[in-house]
Amino acid sequence: MRRVRAAVTGAPGAPFTVRAADLEDPRAHEVLVRMTAVGICHTDLGMRDSWPLHLTPMVFGHEGTGRIETVGAEVTGLAPGDRVCLTFASCGTCDQCTADHPAYCRSARARNLSGGRADGTTPLSLDGSPLHAGFFGQSSFATYAVVHERGVVRVPAGLPDTVAAPLGCSGQTGAGTVLNRLRPEPGSALVVLGAGAVGLSALMAAVAVGCDPVVAVDPVAARRDLATALGAKAALAPGDGLVTALHDLTGGGAHHVVETTGRPHMAGRAVGALRPRGDVVLLGLGGEVTFDVLSLLAKGVRVHGVIEGDSDPARFIPELVDLYERGLFPLDRLVTTFPFEDIGVAVAAMGDGSVVKPVLTFA
């Protein structure tokens, strides 16, 4: 048992409160990771606000990075001292996992969104009572985390912690959508709706593989400026005339549109911005989306839902690290750092749009 500090949510929608808690030693296939940085993702906030009351108190956080302290008795390929990026949990044995699509693991909900391990236990406790954890297999809003070995990917010692952290979710979600699912041809026109961390990761990946033009849409001027600095041909504010402007910029419609906002009306605009036989990918967590079926049929539109960039993290995260080291995926340009104890300040900055990717660092 180890004493840790964790950002605890006491009820749905409640603020994060940093408290002392107790963490179990790792089991046979788990590792203990000392956190050095963790990104804050909109999913952390959205899930916190809708989290079931019976699964509180709860520790969120799913973009962790750190160093392995100890490994379980049956862990292979990992050792104390390894620099690691943490990512989502998967079983490794179902048909989706064995087909290299672990984001769609048959037991994904139990392993990532149940408030504990797949067997219902939690490694954390608070004042002697269970503290729900295991969010995306990690609950990394804490100084230490116990993580199954499948949710751990080694990264180079020289990779900055503030870059390694977002790779586990937002980086691989945006980039993986482009590189793993869409696989665009050079010269393809690609539009990103929403220039947050996921959208800008998709944009950087599209630029890296030669999409042209790449266009971003976002209401925040600073994010539009960042999008063009990262290689977008243009960055537009949403509003009347958006679809027409996108058709003009893309020479008759985009080949691909990546929708990251989760706003139902933007999904309709995404379809409108496509050329015939184009692809629209829905990434944002949102409510019900309604499409006019005739418009889909008439244009031959393909609608994709993608989780975690359709990524096999053990393969894909090293690919993103390579792109970063070659200067083709400058994820660091999205990051603003905050001390872990200032998690409330970081959440507020994310909410008001003044930062794109807040990353908490640990002393």
Give percent of the chain above pLDDT 70.
100
Beta partners for residue 282, in sequence order: 259, 305
Going by pLDDT thresholds of 50, 70 and 90, the confidence category of residue 290 is confident
Two domains, one topology: 2-168+310-361 and 174-307:
no
pLDDT score of 286 more than 80: no
Rounded mean pLDDT of 188-193? Answer: 98
Q: What pLDDT, on a 0 to 100 scale, did the predictor assign at position 344?
A: 97
Cβ contacts of 229 within 8 Å, gap of 6 or more: 333
pLDDT score of 287 more than 80: no
pTM for the whole structure: 0.95
Rounded mean pLDDT of 82-90? Answer: 98
Q: What pLDDT, on a 0 to 100 scale, did the predictor assign at position 36?
A: 98
Q: What is the mean pLDDT of the chain?
A: 96
Q: What pLDDT, on a 0 to 100 scale, did the predictor assign at position 240?
A: 87
Range 2-168+310-361 has CATH code 1.10.10.10 = no
pLDDT tens profile 11-66: 999 999 999 999 999 999 999 999 999 999 999 999 999 999 999 999 999 999 99
Count CB neighbours of 193 within 10 A. Answer: 30
Assign 3-class secondary structure to the chain: CEEEEEEEECCCCCCEEEEEEEECCCCCCEEEEEEEEEECCHHHHHHHHHCCHHHCCEECCCCEEEEEEEECCCCCCCCCCCEEEECCCCCCCCHHHHCCCHHHCCCHHHHHCCCCCCCCCCCEEECCEEEECCHHHCCCCECEEEEEHHHEEECCCCCCHHHHHHHHHHHHHHHHHHHHHHCCCCCCCEEEECCCHHHHHHHHHHHHCCCCCEEEECCCHHHHHHHHHCCCCEEECCCCCHHHHHHHHCCCCEEEEEECCCCHHHHHHHHHCEEEEEEEEECCCCCCCCCCHHHHHHHCCEEEECCHHHCCHHHHHHHHHHHHHCCCCCHHHHEEEEEHHHHHHHHHHHHCCCCCEEEEECC
Residue-range domain boundaries for the chain: 2-168+310-361, 174-307
pLDDT tens profile 232-260: 999 999 988 999 999 999 999 999 999 99
Q: What pLDDT, on a 0 to 100 scale, did the predictor assign at position 295?
A: 86
With vertex at residue 29, the alpha carbon angle to CA 25 and CA 33, rounded to the nearest 5 degrees, is 50
pLDDT score of 323 more than 90: yes
Residue 56 Cα distances to 131, 257, 352, angstroms: 7, 37, 26
pLDDT tens profile 89-135: 999 999 999 999 999 999 999 999 999 999 999 999 999 999 999 99
What number does CATH give the domain 174-307?
A: 3.40.50.720
